Amino acid sequence: MSPVFMCLVGMAVVVGAILKFRLHPFLALMLGALVVGVLAPGEASFAGVGKRLAEAFGTGCGKVGLVIAMAAVIGQCLLVSGAAERIVRGFLSLFGVKRAPLGFLSSGFLLGIPVFFDTVFYLMVPLVRTFAKSNPEKFILALLAVVAGGSMAHSLVPPTPGPITVVENLNQTLEATGQQELDLGIMIAGGLLLGVITILVGYLYALWANRVFRIPMRRTAMSELTEFEPDPERRLPPLSAAILPVVIPFLLIMMGTIVTSLWGKSTDTDYPLAGQIVLMLGDKHAALAVGALVAVVLALRYRPEGMELPKVIQSALAGGGVIILITAAGAAFGQIMKETGIAEELKDWFSGPEAGGKILIVAFVLTALVRMAQGSATVSMVTTGAIMASLLQGVELDFHPLYLALAIGCGSKPGPWMNDSGFWVISKMSGMTEGETLKTFSVMLTLMGTVGFLVVWIASRIMPMA
């Protein structure tokens, strides 16, 4: 049986299970992996499919589980402590009333890194509506600015689940084939740089849409949500403290990357003591743990009266646990797909002078198709990251793997429509009709993802960094 056919069957099972039978993505990915494993046992015994699946799942969970759990704790504690609200208000004060949409754009991007996009939107919509009461002509501009900032950070900048899972999946194959690996600090830097470019593109579209469509702010049942409504009497942490849970992990990881670049990869004992300390704290698990600890301290001090911290952390871990299961299932799906021999099958097609361009195009288009088929940006990145990792077995990249990871991130943006939970959150919370949401939110994300990919493709040709 053709490896390509087996992989297509696996993808069809995953997408069909989610779209047709409404299975949870975790179950759909595990089912797809099981089907591919049965079709392609390879040299391993047919009876050992379950064992291989469990081992791949465990490996994937071990690589991303702690990071995602700590990121979930950071995000939840930022909300509970009021740090997230302080960050938004800080950016609004920085830009002033006239340029408030730029404040929404910037704060949405920063908060989109540790906090899930839907939650960022819930948090910021009351502030957008308050702003729009005195500036009704800028309602759509402010609303789309929040969407542009939060959605791009979610797909490009670790430790959000999509980017960090893509990095781990790609590195597993790159390490096995002796190719250059993708350092997490490099991914953060690249994601931030590309993120700034793409959110500015989104902001330009928002300016145009705000001028052309003239959509008024309407009252809806969901617009009256009070869970994250700003309370003027609430004591909020200072801005300098509020940003620490986000900034500290970034700085630690980047410092670790710099030390590795200066001394090269070697055993820990080859580094001076200071270098060993930096590497210890710059490890993604340690860096996120430090950030989570700072976030917990903020929540302890600034949480609303009567709110129990253990319940806050339990809620964060419950939400993070679901994402961990999905990402680990995606890793298992990718590992089983490697056993089909898909890399050898497509090796000739991915060779030659234009091989790099082909790989990037396939990564972008495949991610976009999976996103449009089942709706979730994270699931599309997890699925495509696993597939591309299996394809890399027989291919030597002529550019830095950063470009491949960013292409997958950009591919998770185009084509959001009615099967995307974010589509309905934005539509119902804003009061826009389905048609208005399609021509604002959907078009803007498609434009941002496409422009982002073009930037990645051009950069990979001009500065391959291989």
pLDDT of residue 286: 94
- Express as a percent the part of the chain with pLDDT over 70: 91
Residue corresponding to tokens 């992990």: 249
353: preceding bond cis by omega (within 30 degrees)? no
pTM of the full structure: 0.87
Closest CA to 402 of 53, 214, 96, 156: 156
User: Residue 408 and residue 338: Cα distance in Å, rounded?
Assistant: 19
pLDDT at residue 38 tops 90? no
In the chain, the amino acid numbered 189 is A
Closest CA to 215 of 434, 439, 436: 436
In the chain, the amino acid numbered 277 is I
pLDDT of residue 266: 56
Q: For residue 210, give every residue at least 6 positions away whose Cβ sits within 8 Å of its Cβ, in sequence order, or none.
A: 137, 138, 139, 140, 141, 144
225: confidence class by pLDDT, cuts 50, 70, 90? very low
Mean pLDDT computed over 182-210 = 96
Domain that holds residue 29: 3-462
Mean pLDDT computed over 276-302 = 93
Tens digits of residue pLDDT in 70-100: 999 999 999 899 999 899 999 999 999 889 9
Closest CA to 411 of 163, 192, 167, 184: 163
pLDDT of residue 228: 44
Whether 146 and 111 have beta carbons less than 8 Å apart is answered as no
pLDDT of residue 137: 93
User: In the chain, how many domains are there?
Assistant: 1
The residue ranking higher by pLDDT, 340 or 325, is 325
247: confidence class by pLDDT, cuts 50, 70, 90? very high
Tens digits of residue pLDDT in 354-375: 666 789 999 999 999 989 888 8
> In this structure, how many other beta carbons lie within 10 angstroms of the beta carbon of residue 242?
25
Mean pLDDT computed over 208-232 = 70
pLDDT of residue 258: 87
Q: What is the mean pLDDT of the chain?
A: 87
58: confidence class by pLDDT, cuts 50, 70, 90? very high
pLDDT at residue 290 tops 90? yes
208: confidence class by pLDDT, cuts 50, 70, 90? very high
Tokens of residue 166, six digits: 């893509």
- Express as a percent the part of the chain with pLDDT over 90: 50
User: Residue 65 and residue 252: Cα distance in Å, rounded?
Assistant: 19
User: Residue 463 and residue 336: Cα distance in Å, rounded?
Assistant: 33
Mean pLDDT computed over 412-417 = 92
> In this structure, how many other beta carbons lie within 10 angstroms of the beta carbon of residue 345?
17
The residue ranking higher by pLDDT, 188 or 277, is 188
The residue ranking higher by pLDDT, 227 or 351, is 351
pLDDT at residue 411 tops 60? yes
pLDDT at residue 424 tops 60? yes
Q: For residue 126, give every residue at least 6 positions away whose Cβ sits within 8 Å of its Cβ, in sequence order, or none.
A: 225, 228, 229, 230
Which of 61-65, 244-248, 304-308, 376-380: highest mean pLDDT? 244-248
Largest CA distance in the chain: 68
59-63, 244-248, 273-277: least confidently modelled range: 273-277
Tens digits of residue pLDDT in 133-160: 889 999 999 999 999 999 999 999 998 8
